[in-house]
């Protein structure tokens, strides 16, 4: 039976049901008012927990059994161990051995190390993934091989979905670099330190059952309690939760590409000349090579002018740590540590503060952090003539990335997207994005190596750089230049089947990804 679809407010055809659950089509930015109340997990009682506070059980298998693992459950994990995560796959290996079917895996992100879950999608242990799909997992989904429909959410959208009960987590399996036997847990300490574990906060609060897995059991009380033991059912101690060198690369480096460096320099220059970089600025950049270069340039400007950023929001990197430690930034509020310097900084700098996405990014909250940020540096796989952005598919139509915090960050005052004009001779600026992840009205400036395009809605920004000598052009001019060099890109070809839904920050469906047409 075909699922009923409608055209949403962004002009995209979306289904009214996903995986049997009703779905609300995107209504426009800030136009959806949620009804009802937050999700309410079962009331527990101390009568069911050990008086001495010791919740350690012998193995992950035992913990899963005690949590009543069974067909159709939703299992959540977080991605703070990044490509070094040794536990997520193990959950499904155990579930598969136990003969459990049709699970929903609800990670905060997936990494190449998670490619083996394809086995458990194949054997029916997992029905679908609701979370980011990278590389082979994305290809698997794009080719229509996943039984259920993938649902992609931003980090904030994931928290919103948990809080609102759109996704009911049956069992959260939360790895922790340090934990005590009561389940209090943090991201520092031990041999698998990842800095902070704030992605797990909502999971711990709203899941019916919570398992903490650690390789570093510490004395009670484990502080700071990023996960509060009061929400935890079982603690599992294993030899290793992660591969340290893959948890944080330790080698995140500024780009060496001349084109990317030019983009970074242009970005810093734009920030300075437009006046949006100022004393007391609040700023967030990413961890890609270009972003890191921008951070270095921004740091230089702050030093020269004797300015101080009020705070930076992490994903934190050594370049942010430098700003903090050299006095050009008051605070780092941190959702994720990207490198070893960042991990060390969380441990030692009192002004480097764990700040969960629950507080920073949740749109169904009484305000959040992103709309308070002055400067937001983001990436994109495609930007179109209306400044709409895509971060999940490539122009060939394959689902290859997660959304991360990208949609949430679009709510910042000035959203700047530094991107190369083309990648592997495929233009980044296109007529219309293959997949719509963020509406153009929220994207302010596109900065490429061949010019800067400012959203016409931002008359103030256009005015601010008039006569500055910056290479300001229209987005149409940038697109045409890319096409002159690379030729007009071929449109991706799709079948009708919907393989993935893209949620907006408020839980509505902004677009879908369809099955790739092969042959």
182 binds its own copies (CB under 8 A): yes
163 binds its own copies (CB under 8 A): yes
Q: Identify which of residues 371 and 490 has a Cβ nearer to its own copies in the complex.
A: 371
38 binds its own copies (CB under 8 A): yes
Q: Which residues contact 262 (CB under 8 A, 6 or more apart)?
A: 449
* Euclidean distance between CA atoms 352 and 185, whole angstroms: 18
The DSSP result for 357-396, as a single string, is HHHHT-SSSS--SGGG-SEEE---SEEETT--EE-SB-TT
* Residue choice 132, 274, 359, 407 for contact with its own copies (CB under 8 A): 359
* Residue choice 61, 130, 164, 341 for contact with its own copies (CB under 8 A): 164
Residue 314's Cα: distance from chain center in Å?
A: 12
Of 48-67, which residues contact its own copies (CB under 8 A)?
A: 48-53, 55
Q: Which residues contact 151 (CB under 8 A, 6 or more apart)?
A: 18, 19, 128, 130, 131, 500, 501, 503
109 and 81 Cβ atoms separated by less than 8 Å:
no
31 binds its own copies (CB under 8 A): yes
* Residue choice 223, 275, 474, 485 for contact with its own copies (CB under 8 A): 223
Of 494-513, which residues contact its own copies (CB under 8 A)?
A: 506
Return the structure tokens found at 324.
């903090």
* Residue choice 231, 297, 338, 398 for contact with its own copies (CB under 8 A): 231
Of 7-15, 224-232, 468-476, 487-495, which part binds its own copies (CB under 8 A)? 224-232
35 and 53 Cβ atoms separated by less than 8 Å:
no
Buried b (16+ CB within 10 A) or exposed e, 263-282: bbebbbbbbbbbebbeeebb
Return the structure tokens found at 480.
């045409």
Of 201-220, which residues contact its own copies (CB under 8 A)?
A: 210, 219-220
Q: Please state the closest distance from residue 159 (CB atom) to its own copies, in A.
A: 10
DSSP state letter for 488? P
Of 226-234, 257-265, 460-468, 481-489, which part binds its own copies (CB under 8 A)? 226-234
* Residue choice 63, 333, 335, 502 for contact with its own copies (CB under 8 A): 333
> What dihedral do alpha carbons 427, 433, 437, 441 form, nearest 10°?
100
Q: Identify which of residues 1 and 51 has a Cβ nearer to its own copies in the complex.
A: 51
Of 15-23, 222-230, 433-441, 449-457, which part binds its own copies (CB under 8 A)? 222-230
Of 41-49, 101-109, 114-122, 131-139, which part binds its own copies (CB under 8 A)? 41-49
Q: Please state the closest distance from residue 287 (CB atom) to its own copies, in A.
A: 22
Q: Which residues contact 423 (CB under 8 A, 6 or more apart)?
A: none
Of 82-90, 118-126, 230-238, 379-387, which part binds its own copies (CB under 8 A)? 230-238
Write the secondary structure of 340-364 as one string of H (helix), E (strand) and C (coil): HHHHHHHHHCCCEEECCHHHHCCCC
* Residue choice 230, 249, 255, 464 for contact with its own copies (CB under 8 A): 230
Cα distances from 24 to residues 20, 21, 154, 459, in angstroms, run 13, 10, 16, 33
Q: Please state the closest distance from residue 229 (CB atom) to its own copies, in A.
A: 7
Q: Please state the closest distance from residue 222 (CB atom) to its own copies, in A.
A: 11
186 and 177 Cβ atoms separated by less than 8 Å:
yes
- Rounded to 10°, the helix 318-326/289-305 angle is 10
120 binds its own copies (CB under 8 A): no
Q: Identify which of residues 231 and 387 has a Cβ nearer to its own copies in the complex.
A: 231
Binding site for its own copies (CB under 8 A): 30-53, 55, 163-165, 182-183, 210, 219-221, 223, 225, 228-233, 310-311, 331, 333, 353, 355, 358-359, 362-369, 371-372, 411, 506
């Amino acid at each position: 039976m075909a699922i009923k679809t409608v055209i949403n407010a962004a002009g995209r055809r979306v289904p009214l049901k996903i995986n049997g659950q009703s779905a609300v089509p995107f209504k426009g930015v800030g136009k959806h008012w949620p009804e009802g109340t937050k999700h309410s997990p079962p009331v527990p009682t101390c009568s069911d927990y050990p008086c001495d506070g010791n919740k350690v059980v012998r193995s992950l298998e035992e913990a899963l059994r005690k949590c009543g693992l069974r067909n159709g459950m939703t299992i959540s994990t977080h991605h703070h161990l990044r490509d070094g995560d040794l536990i997520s796959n193990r959950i499904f290996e155990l579930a598969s051995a136990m003969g459990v079917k049709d699970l929903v895996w609800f990670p905060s992100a997936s990494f190449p190390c998670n490619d083996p879950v394809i086995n458990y999608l194949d054997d029916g242990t997992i029905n679908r993934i609701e979370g980011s799909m990278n590389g082979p997992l994305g290809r698997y989904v794009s080719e229509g091989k996943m039984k259920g429909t993938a649902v992609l959410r931003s980090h904030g959208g994931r928290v919103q979905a948990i809080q609102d009960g759109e996704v009911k987590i049956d069992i959260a399996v939360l790895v922790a670099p340090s934990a005590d036997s009561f389940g209090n847990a943090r991201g520092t300490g031990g041999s698998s330190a990842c800095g902070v574990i704030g992605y797990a906060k909502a999971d711990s609060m709203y899941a019916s059952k919570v398992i903490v897995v650690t390789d570093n059991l510490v004395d009670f009380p484990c502080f700071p309690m990023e996960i509060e033991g009061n929400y935890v059912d079982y603690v599992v101690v294993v030899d290793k939760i992660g591969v340290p060198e893959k948890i944080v690369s330790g080698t995140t480096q500024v780009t060496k590409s001349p084109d990317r460096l030019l983009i970074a320099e242009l970005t810093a220059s734009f920030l300075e000349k437009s006046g949006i970089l100022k004393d007391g600025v609040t700023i967030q950049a990413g961890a890609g090579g270009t972003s890191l270069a921008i951070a270095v340039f921004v740091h230089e400007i702050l030093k020269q002018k004797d300015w101080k950023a009020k705070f930076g929001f992490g994903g934190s990197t050594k370049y942010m740590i430098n700003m903090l430690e050299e006095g050009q930034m008051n605070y780092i509020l941190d959702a994720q540590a990207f490198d070893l310097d960042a991990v060390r900084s969380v441990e030692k700098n009192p002004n480097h503060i764990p700040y969960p996405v629950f507080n920073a990014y949740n749109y169904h909250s009484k305000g959040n952090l992103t709309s308070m940020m002055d400067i937001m540096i983001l990436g994109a796989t495609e930007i179109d003539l209306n400044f709409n952005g895509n971060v999940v598919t490539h122009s060939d139509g394959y689902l290859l990335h997660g959304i991360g915090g990208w949609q949430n960050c679009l709510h910042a005052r000035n959203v700047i997207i530094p991107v190369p004009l083309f990648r592997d001779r495929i233009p980044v600026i296109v007529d219309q994005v293959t997949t719509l992840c963020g509406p153009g009205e929220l994207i302010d400036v596109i900065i490429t190596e061949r010019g800067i395009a400012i959203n016409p809605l931002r008359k103030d920004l256009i005015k601010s750089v008039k006569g500055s000598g910056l290479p300001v052009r229209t987005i149409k001019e940038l697109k045409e230049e890319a096409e002159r060099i690379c030729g007009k890109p071929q449109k991706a070809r799709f079948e009708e089947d919907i393989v993935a839904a893209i949620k907006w920050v408020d839980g509505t469906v902004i677009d879908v990804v369809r099955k790739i047409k092969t042959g």
